[in-house]
């Protein structure tokens, strides 16, 4: 039983050794002559303007939040899936209620527009405070 996981550990160590060995092997042969041009940020030959760690779109964050909710759902459904045939109608009912509640969450996210990726139209003449975070796509 535990030996199964010892095998996984062994696989991990052999795999990691392979990677380290390859890097080491390369370091014996490869040339090493850096110059300032070579070590600069790659931006297709342009001089980079500003730093790279810029703000990215807030929607990536919202997607990650949605993901966490549903990932927990998936993990909780696994134990039920394995014994679903034994539990019969009772188990099915419980799972159905559980999935239904989470479907409400999906419906909410859908309606709220967090699943939309079309750029929101900015109406400069309207009060920006009353505008929803992401507008419905036309």
Partner 1 sequence: MDYALESLIKIAIVLGVIITTVAYVVLAERKVSAYIQNRLGPNRVGPWGLLQPLADGLKFILKEDVIPNHVNKAIYLIAPAAILVPALMGFAVVPFGDTLMVVGREVQLIISDADIGVLYILAVSSLGVYGVVLGGWASNNKYALMGGVRASAQMISYELSLGLSLIGVLMIAESLKLSDVVNLQATGTVLGVLPAWFVFNQPIACLVFMVSVFAETNRLPFDLPEAEQELVAGYHAEYSSMKFAMFFMAEYAHMITASALIATLFFGGWHLPGVDPTDSSFALSVLKVLVFAVKTAFFLFVFIWVRWTVPRFRYDQVMRLGWKYLLPLALLNVLLTGLYLTLNR
> Phi/psi at 36 (nearest 5 deg)?
-55, -40
Our CB check for partner 1 shows the closer of 31 and 132 to be: 31
To partner 1, the closest distance from the beta carbon of 125 in angstroms equals 26
138 touches partner 1 (CB under 8 A): no
39 touches partner 1 (CB under 8 A): yes
- Return d(Cα 102, Cα 96) in angstroms, integer: 10
106 touches partner 1 (CB under 8 A): yes
Q: What is the phi-psi region of residue 113: left when phi exceeds 0, alpha when psi lies from -120 to 50, beta otherwise?
A: left
21 touches partner 1 (CB under 8 A): no
Question: Contact positions toward partner 1, by CB under 8 A?
Answer: 1, 3-8, 10-12, 14-16, 18-20, 22-23, 25-27, 29-34, 38-44, 48, 51-54, 56, 60, 63-64, 66-67, 70-71, 74-75, 77-78, 81-85, 88-89, 91-92, 95-96, 99, 103, 106, 110, 115-118
């Amino acid at each position: 039983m535990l030996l199964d996981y010892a095998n996984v550990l062994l696989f991990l160590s052999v795999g990691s050794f392979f990677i380290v060995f390859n890097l080491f092997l390369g370091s014996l042969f490869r040339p090493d002559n850096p110059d300032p041009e070579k070590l600069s940020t790659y931006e297709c030959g342009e001089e980079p303007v500003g730093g790279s760690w810029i703000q990215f779109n807030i929607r990536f964050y919202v997607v990650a939040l949605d993901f966490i909710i549903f990932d927990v759902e998936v993990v909780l459904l696994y134990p039920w899936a394995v014994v679903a045939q034994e539990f019969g109608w009772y188990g099915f009912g419980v799972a159905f209620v559980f999935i239904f509640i989470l479907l409400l969450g999906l419906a909410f996210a859908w309606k709220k527009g967090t699943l939309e990726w079309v750029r929101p139209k900015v109406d400069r003449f309207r009060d920006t405070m009353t505008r929803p975070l992401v507008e419905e796509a036309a």
